[in-house]
Amino acid sequence: MQRIVPNIWCQGNAFEVGKFYAAVLPQTSSEVAMSYPTQDLPDFQRDFAGKPLVVDVNLGGCLLRLINAGNQFLPTPALSLIVNLDPLLFDGGEEEARACLHSIWDAFVDGGEVRMELGGYPHSALYGWVEDRFGVNWQLMLSDPAAERRPMVIPQFLFTGPQAQAQAAIELYTGLFPDSSLGMSVPQAAGADGLMFAEFTLAGQWFSAMDGGTDHDFTFSPGLSLEVACADQEEIDTLWQALSSVPEAEQCGWVVDRFGVSWQIVPANMDQLMHKPGAYQRMLAMKKIIIAQL
């Protein structure tokens, strides 16, 4: 089971976004996982009655979740998704993998914004960073089949600002989840603080992180959050206490940690709980999720 699921905040168009990703990305499907109730919604959600609430996108075995909501938030480059295209996964080998990467790139650039041009780099023979038409940032990478195998999708944290934060964040996160470890870690060049790049696992899932310094005008936002499936109330309480650092951000299981990253701390059976009569309305009134009250 994937315990930590990237959630993308969509502007009322999650169904269309899911169809787009399923059409563009390899080994990808999308389906409506949860719909809004048909009645008793608050005024700000009344137009969503009966419409999709959550659309699940399965990308190469990695679950991404699209939240169908309003226009309050947008993703930022502070949390992006690395897509590793391994030639070993393609019948046509490297040639087919390259063609697939170019096809994805063209689709994402259409209406999007290029952040790093597609081309050869020291870390990959073919790589590019693009923000798609929905504001989601993707790093497309041709993997080296001779290197250590990596999952198709790896979320990457980019910590911005005058203070290096990646190392402290990695230490906090890996200390919270079992089956977590630090992998490759590359410091910044001599004279500079922080990490140029680091890989680590949380609950058996791959992540990466880097310090970006003051050259960027963005930071994290609820536009791309990380949903954590918890086994019981004790685990919810533990993670909530460790991660919640912005009291005014606490709502419906959402917290913002001291680095600005948004998390959703929810029961693993949240979908099942939401089918109980009145559970959705009770959840809207909560800050931390109290399972017994759902």
Reported as type and span, the H/E element at residue 42 is none
Average pLDDT, the chain: 96
Whether 136 has a pLDDT exceeding 80, the answer reads yes
Do residue 187 and residue 100 come from a single domain?
yes
Q: CATH number of the domain that 241 lies in?
A: 3.10.180.10
Whether 207 has a pLDDT exceeding 90, the answer reads yes
Whether 235 has a pLDDT exceeding 90, the answer reads yes
Last residue of a domain, one of 213, 233, 259: 213
3 state SS of 157: strand
Last residue of a domain, one of 163, 180, 213: 213
Whether 189 has a pLDDT exceeding 90, the answer reads no
Answer for the pair 8, 223: CB distance below 8 angstroms, yes or no: yes
CA 42 to chain centre: 27
Whether 144 has a pLDDT exceeding 90, the answer reads yes
Do residue 153 and residue 195 come from a single domain?
yes
Do residue 118 and residue 202 come from a single domain?
yes
**Mean pLDDT in residue range 191-213:** 94
Whether 191 has a pLDDT exceeding 80, the answer reads no
Give the pLDDT band (50/70/90) at residue 259: very high
Give the pLDDT band (50/70/90) at residue 190: confident
Pairwise CA distance, residues 72 & 183, whole Å:
36
Pairwise CA distance, residues 127 & 115, whole Å:
11
DSSP state of 124: E
CA 270 to chain centre: 18
Whether 129 has a pLDDT exceeding 80, the answer reads yes
pLDDT tens, residue by residue, 210-232: 999 888 999 999 999 999 999 99
pLDDT tens, residue by residue, 2-28: 999 999 999 999 999 999 999 999 999
CA 118 to chain centre: 22
Do residue 204 and residue 242 come from a single domain?
no
226: left (phi over 0), alpha (psi -120 to 50) or beta: beta
Do residue 35 and residue 85 come from a single domain?
no
Do residue 246 and residue 207 come from a single domain?
no
Q: Based on the structure, what is the number of domains in the chain? A: 2
Structure tokens at 187: 């410091």
Q: CATH number of the domain that 108 lies in?
A: 3.30.720.110
Last residue of a domain, one of 213, 232, 257: 213
Pairwise CA distance, residues 172 & 218, whole Å:
22
Buried b (16+ CB within 10 A) or exposed e, 147-179: eeebebbbbbbbbbeeebbbbebbeebbeebee
Residue 189: burial class (beta carbons within 10 Å; 0-12, 13-18, 19+): exposed
pLDDT tens, residue by residue, 80-128: 999 999 999 999 999 999 999 999 999 999 999 999 999 999 999 999 9
- The domain of 279 spans 4-71+220-293
Do residue 135 and residue 204 come from a single domain?
yes
Cα-Cα-Cα-Cα dihedral of 253, 224, 220, 197, to 10°?
120
Buried b (16+ CB within 10 A) or exposed e, 14-26: bbbbbebbbebbb
Do residue 98 and residue 156 come from a single domain?
yes
Please give the pLDDT value at position 1: 82
Please give the pLDDT value at position 157: 98
Please give the pLDDT value at position 229: 97
**Of 13 and 40, more confident:** 13
Instruction: Report the share of the chain in percent with pLDDT over 70.
Output: 100
Give the predicted TM-score (pTM) of the model. Answer: 0.96
Do residue 188 and residue 125 come from a single domain?
yes
**Mean pLDDT in residue range 43-67:** 96
Q: Among residues 4, 160, 5, which one has the least CA distance to residue 76?
A: 160
